[in-house]
Amino acid sequence: MNSPFKGLQPEAMWRYFYEICQIPRPSKKEEKIAAYLVDFGKQHGLETIVDETGNILIRKPATAGMENRKSVVLQSHIDMVCEKNSDTLHDFDNDPIQPYIDGEWVKARGTTLGADDGIGVATQLALLESKDIQHGPIECLFTVDEETGLTGAFGLKPDLLQSSILLNLDSEDEGEVFIGCAGGIDTLISLNYSKVPVGAGQNGMIVKVTGLKGGHSGDDINKGLGNANKILNRILWEGTRRFELRLSKFDGGNLRNAIAREAFAIITVPGRLQKDFEAFVAEKFQKIRHEFKVTEPGLNIQVKAHELPDYLMDMATQEKLLNALYACPHGVMAMSADIPNFVETSTNLASVKTRDNQIEITTSQRSSVESSKYDIANMVVAVFSLAGAKSKHSDGYPGWTPNPNSEVLEITRSAYQKLFEVEPKVLAIHAGLECGLIGEKYPEMDMVSYGPTIKGAHSPDERLQIDTAVKFWDLTLEILRNIPEA
């Protein structure tokens, strides 16, 4: 294989990460990577279990002299977020990811890299393969569909795991150890509309918002990033009032847990107002670009001529939709009073899609306070109720309550200090980790979450910092060496 990682250490971790990149693994379509993992377990003579949900558990006995240590489960998810640049041709169901090295980073060509959480999976496989790494009894749990519903963690049975300690390998900032996370819920909105004919004297146009960074709707929600849906809606809302703009299609964002990077609308304006509208968009672009000059230097807003659409959205629904999208909250709603610089509650206007006679809007809410999670979700419902839309909530998932007296936290902290001569930061994360659901099934499980540095997760800008992946590996081995006897 023409791996770009040849020569990088540890060899086994990078080898397995490259192999994983060759296997398509979209959320809810993990059959190929699951088959690969089952075959791996059989080839290495390890006990391998596939549960009813599709999660895979591989057990490995302790190395000589470590048999009496407490058993540890290492956990990651096998699916990945599938996002690509609009000019990239890639079939996530069939095509391999194309990783490459750019200085200190591993990146992918035009797509998400899948280091979230492929590097965790690769670390587990390298550990399971090893003959010379010291550890007590270990279990490696590979969960499915983490990115679009935490399905694997939801379906985990409370009698599958035998371990009392869990290492979650799905965090994205090296030097930080997480002991708590936010709970989350999705709020899904649908609004019906009628198709009406295009009037005489109208010109077709397309307005596009591109070049935004996107990012994780939990981890990156406090970074001042632009939301393409909100930016596009500002233009459409004002354009309706000043230029008789009529809307045919609104398409923005894709994934519930990603901040919308791109959005476009197919519209009409009267021919006599086209030049004025184009000038308005150019002026608006300059003002919005100034607002985001620090956080979104790549922002671009374009308006071009487009063929006339076959139909328009009825004017009453257009007004309701644009008003509701303008009023819909997005971003940080509250900061924690207990943990410095920690987002407590947020909401994400993830996607807006015009389907046949219906607009579908996806939002997601997060909070480390359960009552606040439902409060902000209900706020979103209230906004769209005023527009006559129907709303429903997903089942949601619980948060993970921090335990500052955790034994495995102290082991991890000591291991990090020994290896790198500096204290790690101990934090909670404003994102959904499977630890919350696993802790609900295994209330006595002692857990920490950590990982290498991954930037731009859930976007084609995703990149993995090479030296932090090595530190991640070294830390995992040091933790395992220091697990106490049962």
- Over range 24-46, report the average pLDDT: 97
Percent of the chain with pLDDT over 90: 90
Question: Is the pLDDT confidence value at 115 over 80?
Answer: yes
pLDDT at 338 over 80: no
Is 251 in the active site? no
Catalytic residue among 79, 220, 262, 344: 79
Q: What is the mean pLDDT of residues 252-269?
A: 95
Alpha-carbon torsion 58, 23, 362, 428, what sign? positive
One DSSP character per residue, 75-112 reads: EEE--B---B-TT----TTTPPP-EEEETTEEEESSB-
Domains of the chain in start order, with CATH, are 11-182+399-481 (3.40.630.10), 186-393 (3.30.70.360)
pLDDT over threshold 90, residue 50: yes
| Mean pLDDT in residue range 46-62 | 98
Give yes or no for residue 1 having a pLDDT over 80.
Answer: no
Q: Is 11 a catalytic residue?
A: no
Distance, in Å, from the CA atom of 315 to the CA atom of 194, rounded to the nearest integer, reads: 9
Q: What count of other Cβ atoms lies within 10 Å of the Cβ of residue 104?
A: 12
Number of H helices, E strands in the chain: 11, 23
Could you tell me which of 485, 482, 444, 449 has the C-alpha nearest to residue 164?
A: 444
Mean pLDDT for 39-45 is 98
Residue 271 CA to residue 283 CA, distance in Å, equals 19
Q: Does pLDDT of 159 surpass 90?
A: yes
Max avg pLDDT among 323-327, 370-374, 401-405 = 323-327
Residue of 19, 83, 116, 146 with catalytic role = 146
pTM: 0.72
The predicted-structure confidence for 143-158, as pLDDT tens digits, reads as follows 999 998 889 999 999 9
- Taking residue 422's Cβ as centre, other Cβ atoms within 10 Å add up to 9
pLDDT higher than threshold 80 for residue 339: no
CA distance 430 to 5: 32
For residue 45, the tally of other CB atoms under 10 A from its CB is 8
Whole-angstrom Cα distance, residue 90 to residue 96? Answer: 9
Rounded CA separation 19/250 (Å): 38
Shortest CA distance to 231 belongs to which of 312, 297, 326?
Answer: 326
Nearest to 354 by CA among 383, 315, 312: 312
Mean pLDDT of 105-117: 97
User: Strands 300-305 and 202-210: what pairing?
Assistant: antiparallel
Identity of the amino acid at 285: F
